[in-house]
Protein backbone atom coordinates (compact mmCIF):
# COMPACT_ATOMS: atom_id res chain seq x y z
CA UNK A 1 0.00 0.00 0.00
CA UNK A 2 1.31 3.47 -0.85
CA UNK A 3 2.73 5.49 2.06
CA UNK A 4 2.15 2.49 4.27
CA UNK A 5 4.69 3.49 6.90
CA UNK A 6 3.17 6.94 7.22
CA UNK A 7 -0.33 5.70 7.84
CA UNK A 8 -1.78 5.21 11.26
CA UNK A 9 -4.68 2.93 12.13
CA UNK A 10 -7.49 3.96 14.44
CA UNK A 11 -10.91 2.67 15.26
CA UNK A 12 -13.11 5.72 14.80
CA UNK A 13 -13.35 9.20 13.29
CA UNK A 14 -14.64 12.34 14.87
CA UNK A 15 -18.29 12.65 13.88
CA UNK A 16 -18.65 9.02 12.81
CA UNK A 17 -19.63 5.98 14.81
CA UNK A 18 -17.47 2.91 15.02
CA UNK A 19 -20.46 0.76 14.06
CA UNK A 20 -23.49 1.12 11.78
CA UNK A 21 -26.30 -1.14 10.70
CA UNK A 22 -25.35 -0.71 7.05
CA UNK A 23 -22.23 0.53 5.30
CA UNK A 24 -22.64 1.53 1.65
CA UNK A 25 -19.49 1.76 -0.46
CA UNK A 26 -19.95 4.28 -3.26
CA UNK A 27 -22.33 7.25 -3.57
CA UNK A 28 -23.04 6.76 -7.26
CA UNK A 29 -26.21 6.03 -9.19
CA UNK A 30 -27.22 3.02 -7.08
CA UNK A 31 -25.47 3.83 -3.79
CA UNK A 32 -27.14 7.22 -3.39
CA UNK A 33 -30.56 5.63 -3.86
CA UNK A 34 -29.85 2.91 -1.30
CA UNK A 35 -28.66 5.47 1.26
CA UNK A 36 -31.90 7.38 0.78
CA UNK A 37 -34.22 4.40 1.02
CA UNK A 38 -32.54 2.63 3.96
CA UNK A 39 -32.56 5.78 6.09
CA UNK A 40 -36.35 5.87 5.70
CA UNK A 41 -36.19 3.38 8.60
CA UNK A 42 -35.37 5.76 11.45
CA UNK A 43 -33.81 3.16 13.73
CA UNK A 44 -31.29 2.07 11.08
CA UNK A 45 -27.91 3.79 11.17
CA UNK A 46 -26.32 4.09 7.71
CA UNK A 47 -22.82 5.13 6.64
CA UNK A 48 -22.25 6.18 3.03
CA UNK A 49 -18.60 6.16 1.93
CA UNK A 50 -17.41 8.03 -1.17
CA UNK A 51 -13.82 8.05 -2.46
CA UNK A 52 -14.21 11.48 -4.06
CA UNK A 53 -15.56 14.80 -2.90
CA UNK A 54 -18.75 16.70 -3.57
CA UNK A 55 -20.00 17.83 -6.95
CA UNK A 56 -18.79 21.19 -8.19
CA UNK A 57 -20.83 24.10 -9.53
CA UNK A 58 -19.64 23.91 -13.13
CA UNK A 59 -20.51 20.23 -13.27
CA UNK A 60 -24.19 21.12 -12.88
CA UNK A 61 -24.17 22.65 -16.37
CA UNK A 62 -25.00 19.88 -18.88
CA UNK A 63 -22.55 21.44 -21.31
CA UNK A 64 -19.65 20.64 -18.97
CA UNK A 65 -19.80 16.84 -19.17
CA UNK A 66 -16.46 16.21 -20.89
CA UNK A 67 -14.65 18.90 -18.93
CA UNK A 68 -15.07 16.96 -15.68
CA UNK A 69 -13.50 13.89 -17.26
CA UNK A 70 -9.73 13.52 -16.92
CA UNK A 71 -9.80 15.59 -13.70
CA UNK A 72 -9.58 14.58 -10.04
CA UNK A 73 -13.34 13.88 -10.21
CA UNK A 74 -12.70 11.06 -12.67
CA UNK A 75 -10.94 7.78 -11.80
CA UNK A 76 -9.10 8.26 -15.14
CA UNK A 77 -9.03 4.59 -16.04
CA UNK A 78 -7.75 3.36 -19.39
CA UNK A 79 -8.13 0.05 -21.17
CA UNK A 80 -5.27 -2.20 -22.11
CA UNK A 81 -4.18 -2.35 -25.73
CA UNK A 82 -6.38 -4.84 -27.54
CA UNK A 83 -4.00 -6.32 -30.12
CA UNK A 84 -5.38 -4.62 -33.18
CA UNK A 85 -9.04 -5.11 -32.24
CA UNK A 86 -10.06 -1.59 -31.18
CA UNK A 87 -8.96 1.94 -30.21
CA UNK A 88 -6.24 1.89 -32.88
CA UNK A 89 -6.53 5.58 -33.78
CA UNK A 90 -6.57 6.76 -30.18
CA UNK A 91 -3.65 7.88 -28.04
CA UNK A 92 -1.42 4.87 -27.23
CA UNK A 93 -4.13 2.67 -28.78
CA UNK A 94 -6.04 2.66 -25.49
CA UNK A 95 -9.64 3.66 -24.95
CA UNK A 96 -10.34 6.08 -22.12
CA UNK A 97 -12.67 4.70 -19.45
CA UNK A 98 -14.30 7.62 -17.57
CA UNK A 99 -15.86 6.88 -14.18
CA UNK A 100 -17.07 9.46 -11.67
CA UNK A 101 -15.12 9.92 -8.45
CA UNK A 102 -17.43 12.18 -6.43
CA UNK A 103 -20.89 12.28 -4.93
CA UNK A 104 -23.23 10.96 -7.59
CA UNK A 105 -20.48 8.85 -9.15
CA UNK A 106 -20.67 8.57 -12.90
CA UNK A 107 -24.11 10.22 -12.88
CA UNK A 108 -22.17 13.40 -12.07
CA UNK A 109 -19.93 13.22 -15.17
CA UNK A 110 -22.08 11.37 -17.68
CA UNK A 111 -24.13 12.77 -20.56
CA UNK A 112 -27.38 12.55 -18.57
CA UNK A 113 -29.34 10.49 -21.11
CA UNK A 114 -32.30 8.76 -19.48
CA UNK A 115 -32.77 5.38 -21.16
CA UNK A 116 -34.20 2.27 -19.53
CA UNK A 117 -33.54 -0.38 -22.14
CA UNK A 118 -35.93 -2.81 -23.75
CA UNK A 119 -38.65 -4.93 -22.16
CA UNK A 120 -37.01 -8.01 -23.66
CA UNK A 121 -33.72 -7.26 -21.89
CA UNK A 122 -35.18 -7.70 -18.43
CA UNK A 123 -37.37 -10.62 -19.43
CA UNK A 124 -34.17 -12.29 -20.60
CA UNK A 125 -32.59 -11.67 -17.19
CA UNK A 126 -35.52 -13.49 -15.61
CA UNK A 127 -35.35 -16.31 -18.17
CA UNK A 128 -31.73 -16.87 -17.11
CA UNK A 129 -32.99 -17.69 -13.62
CA UNK A 130 -32.97 -14.25 -12.03
CA UNK A 131 -36.40 -14.34 -10.43
CA UNK A 132 -37.87 -10.94 -9.67
CA UNK A 133 -36.02 -9.14 -12.49
CA UNK A 134 -38.45 -9.35 -15.41
CA UNK A 135 -39.65 -6.14 -17.06
CA UNK A 136 -42.93 -6.22 -15.17
CA UNK A 137 -40.93 -6.65 -11.95
CA UNK A 138 -38.54 -3.73 -12.53
CA UNK A 139 -40.86 -1.22 -14.24
CA UNK A 140 -42.37 -0.08 -10.90
CA UNK A 141 -38.87 0.80 -9.68
CA UNK A 142 -38.17 2.96 -12.74
CA UNK A 143 -41.48 4.73 -12.19
CA UNK A 144 -40.93 5.09 -8.44
CA UNK A 145 -37.76 7.17 -8.87
CA UNK A 146 -39.03 9.41 -11.62
CA UNK A 147 -40.42 12.92 -11.68
CA UNK A 148 -41.04 13.34 -15.39
CA UNK A 149 -41.57 16.92 -16.52
CA UNK A 150 -43.37 16.08 -19.77
CA UNK A 151 -47.12 16.47 -19.05
CA UNK A 152 -47.94 13.92 -21.75
CA UNK A 153 -45.79 11.27 -20.05
CA UNK A 154 -45.89 12.04 -16.32
CA UNK A 155 -48.21 9.88 -14.26
CA UNK A 156 -48.79 7.31 -17.01
CA UNK A 157 -48.13 3.59 -16.76
CA UNK A 158 -44.56 4.07 -17.94
CA UNK A 159 -43.52 7.30 -16.23
CA UNK A 160 -43.53 8.58 -12.69
CA UNK A 161 -44.47 11.93 -11.24
CA UNK A 162 -43.21 13.25 -7.94
CA UNK A 163 -40.18 10.96 -7.51
CA UNK A 164 -36.75 12.18 -6.52
CA UNK A 165 -35.20 11.98 -10.02
CA UNK A 166 -36.13 14.75 -12.45
CA UNK A 167 -36.40 13.62 -16.08
CA UNK A 168 -37.07 16.00 -18.95
CA UNK A 169 -36.21 16.89 -22.50
CA UNK A 170 -33.54 19.53 -23.06
CA UNK A 171 -34.80 23.11 -23.12
CA UNK A 172 -33.31 23.73 -26.56
CA UNK A 173 -33.81 22.07 -29.94
CA UNK A 174 -31.96 22.96 -33.13
CA UNK A 175 -33.19 22.65 -36.73
CA UNK A 176 -30.99 19.56 -36.97
CA UNK A 177 -32.97 17.86 -34.22
CA UNK A 178 -36.18 18.38 -36.13
CA UNK A 179 -34.55 16.99 -39.26
CA UNK A 180 -33.49 13.90 -37.30
CA UNK A 181 -37.07 13.13 -36.26
CA UNK A 182 -38.42 13.83 -39.76
CA UNK A 183 -35.67 11.75 -41.36
CA UNK A 184 -36.57 8.84 -39.11
CA UNK A 185 -40.18 9.05 -40.26
CA UNK A 186 -39.05 8.97 -43.89
CA UNK A 187 -37.12 5.79 -43.08
CA UNK A 188 -40.33 4.24 -41.73
CA UNK A 189 -39.74 4.75 -38.01
CA UNK A 190 -42.20 6.41 -35.65
CA UNK A 191 -41.46 9.33 -33.36
CA UNK A 192 -42.12 7.73 -29.99
CA UNK A 193 -41.09 7.54 -26.36
CA UNK A 194 -38.31 4.93 -26.30
CA UNK A 195 -38.88 4.49 -22.56
CA UNK A 196 -42.53 3.64 -23.04
CA UNK A 197 -44.52 0.79 -24.51
CA UNK A 198 -42.33 0.42 -27.60
CA UNK A 199 -38.66 1.16 -28.12
CA UNK A 200 -38.10 0.98 -31.88
CA UNK A 201 -38.20 4.51 -33.29
CA UNK A 202 -36.81 8.04 -33.09
CA UNK A 203 -37.17 10.53 -30.23
CA UNK A 204 -35.86 13.76 -28.78
CA UNK A 205 -33.59 12.70 -25.95
CA UNK A 206 -34.84 12.53 -22.38
CA UNK A 207 -32.33 13.19 -19.64
CA UNK A 208 -31.75 13.64 -15.94
CA UNK A 209 -32.15 17.42 -16.22
CA UNK A 210 -33.74 19.75 -13.68
CA UNK A 211 -34.49 23.29 -14.88
CA UNK A 212 -31.66 23.09 -17.37
CA UNK A 213 -29.15 21.70 -14.87
CA UNK A 214 -27.74 18.23 -14.25
CA UNK A 215 -29.79 16.08 -11.90
CA UNK A 216 -27.25 13.57 -10.61
CA UNK A 217 -28.18 10.79 -8.21
CA UNK A 218 -26.56 12.84 -5.45
CA UNK A 219 -28.67 15.90 -6.20
CA UNK A 220 -31.79 13.76 -6.59
CA UNK A 221 -31.48 11.31 -3.68
CA UNK A 222 -28.92 12.66 -1.17
CA UNK A 223 -29.41 16.42 -0.97
CA UNK A 224 -33.10 16.23 0.03
CA UNK A 225 -32.34 13.88 2.94
CA UNK A 226 -28.81 14.91 3.93
CA UNK A 227 -30.02 16.14 7.35
CA UNK A 228 -31.46 12.79 8.38
CA UNK A 229 -29.85 12.00 11.72
CA UNK A 230 -29.40 8.33 10.88
CA UNK A 231 -27.31 9.03 7.75
CA UNK A 232 -23.61 9.81 7.94
CA UNK A 233 -21.62 10.58 4.79
CA UNK A 234 -17.85 10.39 4.65
CA UNK A 235 -16.29 11.79 1.49
CA UNK A 236 -12.65 11.40 0.39
CA UNK A 237 -12.83 7.95 1.96
CA UNK A 238 -11.13 5.38 -0.23
CA UNK A 239 -12.21 1.88 0.81
CA UNK A 240 -9.23 -0.47 0.59
CA UNK A 241 -10.78 -3.67 1.92
CA UNK A 242 -14.05 -5.26 2.94
CA UNK A 243 -13.52 -6.94 6.30
CA UNK A 244 -14.56 -10.59 6.15
CA UNK A 245 -14.12 -13.27 8.77
CA UNK A 246 -12.34 -16.12 6.94
CA UNK A 247 -13.83 -18.75 9.26
CA UNK A 248 -17.49 -17.70 9.27
CA UNK A 249 -17.35 -16.15 5.75
CA UNK A 250 -19.21 -13.12 7.07
CA UNK A 251 -18.60 -9.49 6.11
CA UNK A 252 -18.42 -7.35 9.23
CA UNK A 253 -17.06 -3.98 8.16
CA UNK A 254 -14.71 -1.97 5.97
CA UNK A 255 -11.23 -0.56 5.99
CA UNK A 256 -10.70 2.80 4.33
CA UNK A 257 -8.18 5.60 4.05
CA UNK A 258 -9.03 9.21 4.70
CA UNK A 259 -6.58 12.09 5.13
CA UNK A 260 -3.58 9.74 5.25
CA UNK A 261 -5.03 7.58 7.98
CA UNK A 262 -6.60 4.13 7.86
CA UNK A 263 -9.86 3.45 9.66
CA UNK A 264 -12.02 0.45 10.48
CA UNK A 265 -15.81 0.82 10.69
CA UNK A 266 -18.07 -2.10 11.48
CA UNK A 267 -21.48 -3.18 10.12
CA UNK A 268 -24.08 -4.85 12.33
CA UNK A 269 -26.21 -6.01 9.41
CA UNK A 270 -24.65 -5.63 5.94
CA UNK A 271 -21.96 -4.12 3.77
CA UNK A 272 -23.38 -3.00 0.43
CA UNK A 273 -20.92 -2.58 -2.43
CA UNK A 274 -22.07 0.01 -4.98
CA UNK A 275 -18.73 1.19 -6.33
CA UNK A 276 -19.56 0.49 -9.99
CA UNK A 277 -18.68 -1.93 -12.75
CA UNK A 278 -14.93 -1.37 -12.36
CA UNK A 279 -14.32 -0.57 -8.69
CA UNK A 280 -16.72 -3.19 -7.28
CA UNK A 281 -14.91 -6.22 -8.74
CA UNK A 282 -11.58 -4.55 -7.97
CA UNK A 283 -12.50 -4.21 -4.30
CA UNK A 284 -13.92 -7.72 -4.05
CA UNK A 285 -10.68 -9.18 -5.35
CA UNK A 286 -8.61 -7.00 -3.02
CA UNK A 287 -10.75 -8.42 -0.19
CA UNK A 288 -10.08 -12.04 -1.14
CA UNK A 289 -13.17 -12.76 -3.23
CA UNK A 290 -12.48 -13.78 -6.81
CA UNK A 291 -10.59 -16.27 -8.99
CA UNK A 292 -8.32 -18.09 -6.54
CA UNK A 293 -5.28 -18.56 -8.84
CA UNK A 294 -5.30 -14.87 -9.77
CA UNK A 295 -5.59 -13.74 -6.15
CA UNK A 296 -2.79 -16.06 -5.05
CA UNK A 297 -0.61 -14.76 -7.84
CA UNK A 298 -1.05 -11.26 -6.38
CA UNK A 299 -0.36 -12.42 -2.83
CA UNK A 300 -3.98 -12.27 -1.64
CA UNK A 301 -5.47 -15.10 0.41
CA UNK A 302 -8.72 -16.30 -1.27
CA UNK A 303 -11.49 -16.21 1.33
CA UNK A 304 -13.95 -17.76 -1.09
CA UNK A 305 -12.53 -19.87 -3.89
CA UNK A 306 -12.99 -19.21 -7.55
CA UNK A 307 -15.91 -16.84 -7.81
CA UNK A 308 -15.65 -15.38 -11.35
CA UNK A 309 -15.29 -11.78 -10.18
CA UNK A 310 -14.21 -9.44 -12.97
CA UNK A 311 -15.31 -11.76 -15.77
CA UNK A 312 -18.19 -11.19 -18.23
CA UNK A 313 -17.14 -7.56 -18.79
CA UNK A 314 -19.08 -6.12 -21.71
CA UNK A 315 -19.91 -2.65 -22.88
CA UNK A 316 -21.62 -0.50 -25.46
CA UNK A 317 -18.73 0.54 -27.65
CA UNK A 318 -19.40 2.77 -30.64
CA UNK A 319 -17.75 4.26 -33.68
CA UNK A 320 -16.79 7.73 -32.43
CA UNK A 321 -18.87 9.50 -35.06
CA UNK A 322 -20.08 9.36 -38.65
CA UNK A 323 -19.76 12.94 -39.87
CA UNK A 324 -22.00 14.71 -42.38
CA UNK A 325 -21.23 18.20 -43.67
CA UNK A 326 -24.01 20.73 -44.38
CA UNK A 327 -24.15 24.18 -45.95
CA UNK A 328 -26.56 25.70 -43.41
CA UNK A 329 -25.47 27.45 -40.16
CA UNK A 330 -27.26 24.97 -37.89
CA UNK A 331 -24.57 23.06 -36.03
CA UNK A 332 -23.49 23.87 -32.49
CA UNK A 333 -20.20 25.56 -33.20
CA UNK A 334 -18.14 27.38 -30.62
CA UNK A 335 -18.77 30.89 -31.89
CA UNK A 336 -22.56 30.42 -31.77
CA UNK A 337 -22.61 29.88 -28.02
CA UNK A 338 -19.56 31.86 -27.00
CA UNK A 339 -21.46 35.00 -26.24
CA UNK A 340 -22.87 36.79 -23.23
CA UNK A 341 -26.49 36.46 -24.34
CA UNK A 342 -26.34 32.65 -24.45
CA UNK A 343 -24.85 32.51 -20.97
CA UNK A 344 -27.35 34.96 -19.50
CA UNK A 345 -30.28 33.12 -21.05
CA UNK A 346 -29.00 29.84 -19.65
CA UNK A 347 -28.57 31.18 -16.13
CA UNK A 348 -32.06 32.71 -16.29
CA UNK A 349 -34.08 29.81 -17.68
CA UNK A 350 -31.82 27.12 -19.11
CA UNK A 351 -33.28 27.16 -22.63
CA UNK A 352 -30.05 27.47 -24.59
CA UNK A 353 -27.59 24.99 -26.14
CA UNK A 354 -25.81 24.87 -22.76
CA UNK A 355 -28.75 22.83 -21.43
CA UNK A 356 -28.43 20.15 -24.10
CA UNK A 357 -27.77 16.54 -23.16
CA UNK A 358 -24.40 15.03 -23.80
CA UNK A 359 -22.88 18.36 -24.66
CA UNK A 360 -19.18 18.75 -24.10
CA UNK A 361 -17.41 21.99 -23.57
CA UNK A 362 -14.60 23.68 -21.72
CA UNK A 363 -14.90 26.69 -19.46
CA UNK A 364 -12.33 28.74 -17.57
CA UNK A 365 -14.75 31.52 -16.68
CA UNK A 366 -18.00 32.90 -18.03
CA UNK A 367 -16.11 34.81 -20.72
CA UNK A 368 -14.48 31.71 -22.18
CA UNK A 369 -16.79 28.93 -23.29
CA UNK A 370 -15.77 26.22 -25.69
CA UNK A 371 -18.62 24.22 -27.04
CA UNK A 372 -18.95 20.96 -28.91
CA UNK A 373 -21.25 17.98 -29.00
CA UNK A 374 -24.90 17.89 -28.00
CA UNK A 375 -27.04 14.74 -28.14
CA UNK A 376 -30.40 15.99 -29.37
CA UNK A 377 -31.92 12.73 -30.47
CA UNK A 378 -31.89 9.01 -29.85
CA UNK A 379 -33.10 6.23 -32.09
CA UNK A 380 -33.40 2.47 -31.95
CA UNK A 381 -33.22 0.74 -35.32
CA UNK A 382 -33.13 -2.78 -36.70
CA UNK A 383 -30.34 -4.09 -38.90
CA UNK A 384 -30.61 -7.19 -41.03
CA UNK A 385 -29.50 -9.18 -37.98
CA UNK A 386 -32.54 -8.22 -35.89
CA UNK A 387 -35.95 -9.87 -35.95
CA UNK A 388 -38.07 -7.61 -38.16
CA UNK A 389 -41.22 -8.67 -36.31
CA UNK A 390 -39.95 -8.04 -32.80
CA UNK A 391 -39.64 -4.74 -30.93
CA UNK A 392 -36.04 -5.51 -29.98
CA UNK A 393 -33.79 -3.27 -32.12
CA UNK A 394 -30.08 -4.02 -32.23
CA UNK A 395 -28.62 -0.56 -33.01
CA UNK A 396 -28.95 2.74 -31.18
CA UNK A 397 -28.18 6.14 -32.68
CA UNK A 398 -26.85 9.03 -30.65
CA UNK A 399 -27.66 12.00 -32.87
CA UNK A 400 -25.37 14.99 -32.39
CA UNK A 401 -25.99 18.42 -33.89
CA UNK A 402 -22.28 18.94 -34.38
CA UNK A 403 -19.04 16.98 -34.61
CA UNK A 404 -15.69 16.73 -32.85
CA UNK A 405 -14.32 19.81 -34.63
CA UNK A 406 -16.95 22.19 -33.19
CA UNK A 407 -14.74 23.32 -30.30
CA UNK A 408 -11.72 23.56 -32.62
CA UNK A 409 -9.93 20.72 -30.90
CA UNK A 410 -9.92 22.09 -27.38
CA UNK A 411 -11.96 19.51 -25.48
CA UNK A 412 -13.77 16.58 -27.11
CA UNK A 413 -10.76 15.21 -28.97
CA UNK A 414 -9.10 14.72 -25.58
CA UNK A 415 -12.13 13.18 -23.87
CA UNK A 416 -12.25 10.66 -26.73
CA UNK A 417 -8.48 10.19 -26.72
CA UNK A 418 -7.99 11.15 -30.39
CA UNK A 419 -4.28 11.18 -31.22
CA UNK A 420 -2.56 14.29 -32.59
CA UNK A 421 -1.80 12.63 -35.91
CA UNK A 422 -5.42 11.63 -36.48
CA UNK A 423 -6.62 15.08 -35.48
CA UNK A 424 -4.29 16.85 -37.89
CA UNK A 425 -4.90 14.56 -40.83
CA UNK A 426 -8.62 13.85 -40.57
CA UNK A 427 -10.27 16.69 -38.62
CA UNK A 428 -8.33 19.87 -39.33
CA UNK A 429 -9.53 20.06 -42.97
CA UNK A 430 -13.16 20.54 -41.79
CA UNK A 431 -12.56 22.56 -38.64
CA UNK A 432 -14.65 25.51 -39.90
CA UNK A 433 -17.47 23.49 -41.48
CA UNK A 434 -21.01 23.02 -40.22
CA UNK A 435 -21.75 19.38 -39.54
CA UNK A 436 -23.85 16.80 -37.75
CA UNK A 437 -22.94 13.29 -36.69
CA UNK A 438 -24.23 9.95 -35.51
CA UNK A 439 -22.70 7.45 -33.09
CA UNK A 440 -24.00 3.98 -34.02
CA UNK A 441 -24.05 1.62 -31.04
CA UNK A 442 -24.34 -2.18 -31.09
CA UNK A 443 -26.88 -2.76 -28.34
CA UNK A 444 -26.31 -6.41 -27.41
CA UNK A 445 -22.58 -7.05 -27.75
CA UNK A 446 -21.25 -10.58 -27.63
CA UNK A 447 -17.62 -9.72 -26.94
CA UNK A 448 -16.49 -10.34 -23.38
CA UNK A 449 -13.52 -9.03 -21.49
CA UNK A 450 -12.28 -8.90 -17.91
CA UNK A 451 -11.08 -6.77 -15.01
CA UNK A 452 -8.11 -8.04 -13.02
CA UNK A 453 -5.81 -6.82 -10.32
CA UNK A 454 -2.64 -5.12 -11.39
CA UNK A 455 -1.15 -5.51 -7.91
CA UNK A 456 -2.43 -6.02 -4.37
CA UNK A 457 -2.04 -2.28 -3.76
CA UNK A 458 -5.60 -0.87 -3.54
CA UNK A 459 -4.38 2.42 -5.02
CA UNK A 460 -3.11 0.80 -8.21
CA UNK A 461 -5.67 0.90 -10.97
CA UNK A 462 -6.99 -2.45 -12.17
CA UNK A 463 -6.25 -4.05 -15.51
CA UNK A 464 -9.20 -3.39 -17.85
CA UNK A 465 -9.50 -5.36 -21.08
CA UNK A 466 -12.99 -5.21 -22.62
CA UNK A 467 -11.90 -7.22 -25.69
CA UNK A 468 -13.92 -4.97 -27.99
CA UNK A 469 -14.91 -6.60 -31.28
CA UNK A 470 -13.37 -9.94 -30.35
CA UNK A 471 -16.68 -11.42 -31.51
CA UNK A 472 -17.22 -10.57 -35.21
CA UNK A 473 -20.96 -10.16 -34.63
CA UNK A 474 -20.42 -6.87 -32.81
CA UNK A 475 -18.43 -5.44 -35.70
CA UNK A 476 -20.97 -6.66 -38.25
CA UNK A 477 -23.88 -4.96 -36.47
CA UNK A 478 -21.93 -1.71 -36.09
CA UNK A 479 -21.18 -1.71 -39.82
CA UNK A 480 -24.88 -2.07 -40.56
CA UNK A 481 -25.47 0.85 -38.21
CA UNK A 482 -23.14 2.99 -40.33
CA UNK A 483 -25.15 2.09 -43.41
CA UNK A 484 -28.36 3.13 -41.66
CA UNK A 485 -26.75 6.48 -40.75
CA UNK A 486 -25.88 6.99 -44.43
CA UNK A 487 -29.48 6.18 -45.31
CA UNK A 488 -30.69 8.79 -42.81
CA UNK A 489 -28.49 11.43 -44.46
CA UNK A 490 -30.23 10.78 -47.78
CA UNK A 491 -33.71 11.63 -46.52
CA UNK A 492 -35.25 14.83 -47.81
CA UNK A 493 -35.06 16.32 -44.30
CA UNK A 494 -31.27 16.35 -44.54
CA UNK A 495 -30.97 16.85 -48.28
CA UNK A 496 -32.54 20.28 -47.75
CA UNK A 497 -29.33 21.16 -45.92
CA UNK A 498 -27.18 19.66 -48.71
CA UNK A 499 -26.02 17.04 -46.24
CA UNK A 500 -22.99 15.07 -47.45
CA UNK A 501 -21.01 12.26 -45.86
CA UNK A 502 -17.46 13.35 -45.01
CA UNK A 503 -15.65 10.78 -47.12
CA UNK A 504 -12.01 11.51 -46.39
CA UNK A 505 -10.38 8.14 -45.60
CA UNK A 506 -9.76 7.71 -41.90
CA UNK A 507 -6.03 7.50 -41.06
CA UNK A 508 -4.83 3.92 -41.20
CA UNK A 509 -7.70 2.83 -43.46
CA UNK A 510 -6.50 4.32 -46.76
CA UNK A 511 -5.74 0.85 -48.12
CA UNK A 512 -9.41 -0.14 -48.15
CA UNK A 513 -11.99 0.92 -50.73
CA UNK A 514 -14.33 3.54 -49.27
CA UNK A 515 -17.84 2.17 -48.74
CA UNK A 516 -16.86 -1.48 -48.41
CA UNK A 517 -17.36 -3.51 -45.25
CA UNK A 518 -13.59 -3.85 -44.95
CA UNK A 519 -13.23 -0.07 -44.88
CA UNK A 520 -16.02 0.35 -42.33
CA UNK A 521 -14.44 -2.37 -40.16
CA UNK A 522 -11.08 -0.62 -40.20
CA UNK A 523 -12.72 2.68 -39.27
CA UNK A 524 -14.67 1.15 -36.38
CA UNK A 525 -11.57 -0.55 -34.98
CA UNK A 526 -9.61 2.70 -35.28
CA UNK A 527 -12.08 5.12 -33.67
CA UNK A 528 -13.67 3.02 -30.92
CA UNK A 529 -15.29 4.93 -28.05
CA UNK A 530 -16.79 3.53 -24.86
CA UNK A 531 -20.17 4.87 -23.82
CA UNK A 532 -19.42 3.79 -20.22
CA UNK A 533 -22.29 1.31 -20.25
CA UNK A 534 -20.18 -1.50 -18.85
CA UNK A 535 -21.81 -4.41 -17.07
CA UNK A 536 -21.46 -7.97 -15.88
CA UNK A 537 -18.30 -7.99 -13.75
CA UNK A 538 -20.16 -9.26 -10.65
CA UNK A 539 -22.83 -11.11 -12.59
CA UNK A 540 -26.16 -11.99 -11.04
CA UNK A 541 -27.37 -15.54 -11.56
CA UNK A 542 -29.03 -18.63 -10.06
CA UNK A 543 -27.22 -21.40 -8.19
CA UNK A 544 -26.51 -23.38 -11.35
CA UNK A 545 -24.88 -20.45 -13.18
CA UNK A 546 -21.08 -20.93 -13.06
CA UNK A 547 -20.57 -17.23 -13.92
CA UNK A 548 -22.72 -15.90 -11.08
CA UNK A 549 -21.02 -13.81 -8.41
CA UNK A 550 -24.25 -12.70 -6.72
CA UNK A 551 -27.64 -14.38 -6.47
CA UNK A 552 -30.93 -12.74 -7.58
CA UNK A 553 -31.14 -11.11 -4.13
CA UNK A 554 -27.72 -9.53 -4.91
CA UNK A 555 -25.97 -11.44 -2.11
CA UNK A 556 -22.37 -12.42 -2.80
CA UNK A 557 -22.24 -16.18 -3.07
CA UNK A 558 -20.67 -17.91 -0.09
CA UNK A 559 -20.30 -14.68 1.91
CA UNK A 560 -22.84 -13.58 4.48
CA UNK A 561 -24.01 -9.98 4.89
CA UNK A 562 -22.41 -8.70 1.70
CA UNK A 563 -24.32 -7.51 -1.37
CA UNK A 564 -23.40 -5.84 -4.64
CA UNK A 565 -25.81 -3.33 -6.18
CA UNK A 566 -24.68 -1.51 -9.32
CA UNK A 567 -24.34 -2.22 -13.05
CA UNK A 568 -21.75 -4.93 -12.37
CA UNK A 569 -24.58 -7.33 -11.42
CA UNK A 570 -26.22 -7.13 -14.86
CA UNK A 571 -25.98 -10.52 -16.60
CA UNK A 572 -26.57 -8.74 -19.94
CA UNK A 573 -26.35 -5.02 -20.58
CA UNK A 574 -29.74 -3.45 -21.42
CA UNK A 575 -30.41 -2.03 -24.88
CA UNK A 576 -29.50 1.55 -24.10
CA UNK A 577 -27.70 3.88 -21.72
CA UNK A 578 -27.33 2.37 -18.27
CA UNK A 579 -27.69 5.18 -15.70
CA UNK A 580 -31.47 4.78 -15.38
CA UNK A 581 -31.03 1.03 -14.93
CA UNK A 582 -28.39 1.58 -12.23
CA UNK A 583 -30.83 3.77 -10.32
CA UNK A 584 -33.50 1.10 -10.72
CA UNK A 585 -31.08 -1.47 -9.28
CA UNK A 586 -30.59 0.81 -6.28
CA UNK A 587 -34.34 1.03 -5.76
CA UNK A 588 -34.86 -2.72 -6.00
CA UNK A 589 -31.82 -3.51 -3.84
CA UNK A 590 -33.26 -1.26 -1.12
CA UNK A 591 -36.45 -3.29 -1.03
CA UNK A 592 -34.51 -6.56 -1.00
CA UNK A 593 -32.54 -5.34 2.01
CA UNK A 594 -35.68 -4.13 3.78
CA UNK A 595 -37.36 -7.47 3.15
CA UNK A 596 -34.41 -9.20 4.81
CA UNK A 597 -34.01 -7.03 7.90
CA UNK A 598 -37.05 -4.90 8.58
CA UNK A 599 -39.81 -6.15 10.84
CA UNK A 600 -42.52 -3.70 11.88
Catalytic residues: 533
**Residue 252: exposure state from Cβ atoms within 10 A (0-12, 13-18, ≥19):** buried
Contact 386, 373 (CB under 8 A): no
Angle of helix 31-38 relative to helix 579-597, nearest 10 degrees, comes to 30
CA quadruple 512, 514, 516, 518: dihedral, nearest 10: 30
Residue 239 annotated as binding site: yes
Instruction: Kindly compute the dihedral angle of the four CA atoms of residues 556, 559, 560, 565, in this order, to the nearest 10 degrees.
Output: -20
End-to-end alpha carbon distance in the chain: 44
Please provide residue 122's backbone torsions phi and psi, each rounded to the nearest 5 degrees.
-75, -35
DSSP state string for 213-267: EE--HIIIIIGGGTT-TTEEEE-S-EEEEEEEETTTTEEEEEEEEETTEEEEEEE
- In degrees and rounded to multiples of 5, residue 461 shows phi and psi of -70, 150
- Of all residues in the chain, what percent are helix, strand and coil, respectively (each to 5)? 30, 25, 45
Measured CA distances, 278 to 89, 198, 230, 297, 494 (Å): 24, 31, 29, 20, 40
Query: CA triplet 204, 357, 104: central angle to 5 degrees?
Result: 130
User: Using the 8-state DSSP alphabet, how is residue 176 labeled?
Assistant: H
**CA pair distance 13, 234, nearest whole angstrom:** 10
Feature table: binding site for FAD: 106, 239
Amino acid sequence: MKNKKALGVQKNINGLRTEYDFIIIGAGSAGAVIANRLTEIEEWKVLLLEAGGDENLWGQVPAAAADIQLTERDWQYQTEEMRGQACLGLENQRCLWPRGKMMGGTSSINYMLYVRGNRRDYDQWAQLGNYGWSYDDVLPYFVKSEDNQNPYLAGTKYHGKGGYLTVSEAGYQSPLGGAFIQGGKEMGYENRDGNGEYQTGFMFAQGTIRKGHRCSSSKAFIRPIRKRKNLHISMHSHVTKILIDPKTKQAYGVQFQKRDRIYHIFARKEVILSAGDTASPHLLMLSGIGPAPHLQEKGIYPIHANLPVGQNLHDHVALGEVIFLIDQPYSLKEERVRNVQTILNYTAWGGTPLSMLGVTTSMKDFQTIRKSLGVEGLAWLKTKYADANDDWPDVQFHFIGSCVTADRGRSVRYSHGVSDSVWEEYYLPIIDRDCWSVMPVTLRPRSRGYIRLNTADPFDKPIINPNYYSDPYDLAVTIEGIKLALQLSQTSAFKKMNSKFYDKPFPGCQGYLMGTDDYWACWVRSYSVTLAHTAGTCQMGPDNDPMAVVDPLLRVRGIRNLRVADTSIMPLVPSGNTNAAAIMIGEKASDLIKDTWYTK
